[in-house]
A and B are shown apart, each in its own frame.
Chain A
Amino acid sequence: MNDFPIIKVNNLIKDYAMGKQCFRALNDVNLSFKMGEFCGLVGPSGSGKTTLLNIIGALDNPTSGDAIVMDKSITVLNHKEAAKMRNESIGFIFQTYNLLPVYSVFENVEFPLLLLKKNKTEREEAVMRALEWVGLSGKANSRPNQLSGGESQRVAVARAMVKLPKIVLADEPTANLDAANSHNILKTMQNLNHELKTTFIFATHDEKVIGYLHRKVMLNDGKVIDDVNLN
């Protein structure tokens, strides 16, 4: 693992308006993640895991404080720059897979490369390589509605990894999967982290996931209550 901090979160506060009340989802969070970490944000529902993940992924802005991702402050990025950053450097994996239903497995995985304007040969090579990583080479022409939950999530992993991003953010990636599929997915991601040195950050409260983590950041009521290195 490289000691270079790829993500730095400083005094991060995120408030949500709930009617006339204000709900503080993140309360003065300070964290840093090194390149190649396999780390989890762990905590109960409402602890601020997904909010932190969204801010790191430039999908949301903090109320105050800053998140610096690959030397760029999230707070100063406009919509276009944030989209560019997500496109080039960040892969997302969602709990509900979020595959595009009108595309085949191959096309779903190819989609981020089309946004990056890669040429056809590069795209084909990268997609087939990513599908091999997740063991779905034989399902390239299938549609999302023809896949099981585990297969769909593996496609989502391939889609996140195909562009070789520096960071992969996974929000409850095993929540909809059974134990066997969860272990399969986590093993795949662990291998990719090992081989490609991609930084993986999970938001989870699934014990199965926690067993694979190298670092566990415990969140409760928007605050970091513990940060444990599990290696």
Chain B
Amino acid sequence: MLIIKLAFRNIIHAGLRTWLNVIVLSFAFVLIILIEGLYDGMSEQVKDAEIDSNVGGGQFWQKDYDPYDSFSLERSHAEIPAELKQEIKRGNASAVLIVSASIFPRNLIQSVSLKGIDPDQKIVNLPVSILKEERDTNVIPGLIGSRMAKSTGLQAGDYVSVRWRNINGTFDAGDIKIENVIDLNLPSIDNGQIWIPLEKLRNMMRIPGQATIITLKKNIDRIPADSRDWIFKDYNYLLKDLNDNISRKRLYSNFMFSLLLGMALLAVFDTQVLSIFRRRKEIGTLMALGMTRWSVIGLFTLEGCLLGILAFIAGSIYGYPILAYLAKEGLVLPRMIERSQFAVLLTLYPKYGLHLYVVTSLILLISVIIVSFLPTRKITTLKPTDALKGKFS
């Protein structure tokens, strides 16, 4: 109790030095929680968006389909089995046909994937109903994302020639009218892709009733069994790339975490070294009065710890409203972030769990205890007579 009282008095007595440390530490504490919260929030938002707009409740893939091999598209289509047809009829699934094609924007050739989707589907969150509004049967209504629009220079209302090879291997061509350009947050449904009506694409390919992917409704009660041509891919499989990407981004957040913590701890370490140097005589006096070396070490370490505790309290007091506000209103990102290959939303909502708060607080406190203790080791070799004279042994 004596040591706690003395340590508290000492840090209050240190005045500006203490408060500067508390400000730096608490700032690091709040910033670490914000950055970690942003990554957690972003990861969750992106996963939700991926599930809502692409993955749904899992997908059946035609057995030859390989998203990393564009040549596989020539053979990755098949008749939809009866059980899955039933699910589509019930509104529990939606079919997508994927075909390789070339478009010619600005007189340049560019490879794309044409994705045929039912404009009436409600399984994934894509505004494809606009595709059925086109009255001109000679054009192919198309929908593209903002990334695709940027890379091709296409805008809503533009026409672009498209060439594809049908089931017989014969090249065919037509014009796609870009009905709309929409902000698709996910590169997986945007880059190099044009969404067109499913039946139109089937007719273009001359493969009625066929599809490449069947996306199931989110939270579907029962997943149909695999068939000879159709293999079920669950969440874990479909989100693997995204999870890997998030893990890579997490390295950056960990680096920021370490950097902020390191800077804050350096301030504490510096203060401790200076404090021990300036208070050698006091150390000698405490020893002369009967304090053991380890009690003096405990006193100085505790002073450092109290800085951490004060920073934790200060950070909680002024950080809570800021963090709560950002969690509610979100953080609007600049549009240039769209160039990123990582799926991002233009407004990020940080997510701070109790786990993040507790773990960050513990890491901060334990680190502060360690850096507070390290400089005090010098006291173990300090002779009281030297300390009283104001010098180190």
Question: Distance (Å) between the CB of B138 and the closest chain A CB?
Answer: 89
| CB-defined contacts of B366 to chain A, threshold 8 Å | none
Which of B282, B291, B292, B293 is the most central at the interface, judged by chain A CB atoms within 10 Å of its CB? B292
- Interface locus among B92-100, B218-226, B380-388: B380-388
Do B290 and A87 touch (CB < 8 A)?
yes
Do A98 and B285 touch (CB < 8 A)?
yes
With A59-B385, A59-B388, A115-B2 as given contacts, are A102 and B290 in contact (CB-CB < 8 Å)? no
B281 at the interface (CB under 8 A from A): yes
B287 at the interface (CB under 8 A from A): yes
Of chain B, the residue at the smallest CB distance from A103 is B9
A80 at the interface (CB under 8 A from B): yes
A88 at the interface (CB under 8 A from B): yes
A94 at the interface (CB under 8 A from B): yes
A86 at the interface (CB under 8 A from B): yes
Inter-chain residue pair count (beta carbon < 8 A): 62
Instruction: Give CA–CA (A86, B284) in the complex, Å.
Output: 12
Do B290 and A84 touch (CB < 8 A)?
yes
Question: Distance (Å) between the CB of A37 and the closest chain B CB?
Answer: 21
A33 at the interface (CB under 8 A from B): no
Residues of chain A from 43 to 102 with CB closer than 8 A to chain B in the complex: 54, 57, 59-60, 79-80, 83-84, 86-88, 92, 94, 96, 98, 100-102
Instruction: Give CA–CA (A54, B287) in the complex, Å.
Output: 12
Do A92 and B289 touch (CB < 8 A)?
yes
A173 at the interface (CB under 8 A from B): no
With A79-B293, A98-B281 as given contacts, are A57 and B288 in contact (CB-CB < 8 Å)? yes
Instruction: Give CA–CA (A92, B289) in the complex, Å.
Output: 7
Instruction: Give CA–CA (A4, B12) in the complex, Å.
Output: 48
B20 at the interface (CB under 8 A from A): no
Question: Distance (Å) between the CB of A95 and the closest chain B CB?
Answer: 10
| CB-defined contacts of B6 to chain A, threshold 8 Å | 100, 102-103
Of chain A, the residue at the smallest CB distance from B289 is A112
| CB-defined contacts of B284 to chain A, threshold 8 Å | 98
Instruction: Give CA–CA (A103, B8) in the complex, Å.
Output: 11
B10 at the interface (CB under 8 A from A): yes
| CB-defined contacts of A87 to chain B, threshold 8 Å | 289-291
| CB-defined contacts of B388 to chain A, threshold 8 Å | 59, 94, 98
Do A60 and B290 touch (CB < 8 A)?
no
Do A86 and B9 touch (CB < 8 A)?
no
A interface residues, Cβ below 8 angstroms from B: 54, 57, 59-60, 79-80, 83-84, 86-88, 92, 94, 96, 98, 100-103, 111-112, 114-116, 159
Sorted nearest first, the 7 A-B pairs with minimum C-beta distance are A87-B290, A102-B9, A102-B13, A98-B285, A83-B292, A59-B384, A92-B288
New A-B contacts (14) at CB < 8 Å, excluding given A57-B288, A83-B290, A96-B281: A59-B287, A59-B288, A60-B384, A79-B293, A86-B288, A86-B290, A87-B289, A87-B290, A88-B290, A94-B288, A98-B388, A102-B9, A111-B289, A115-B289
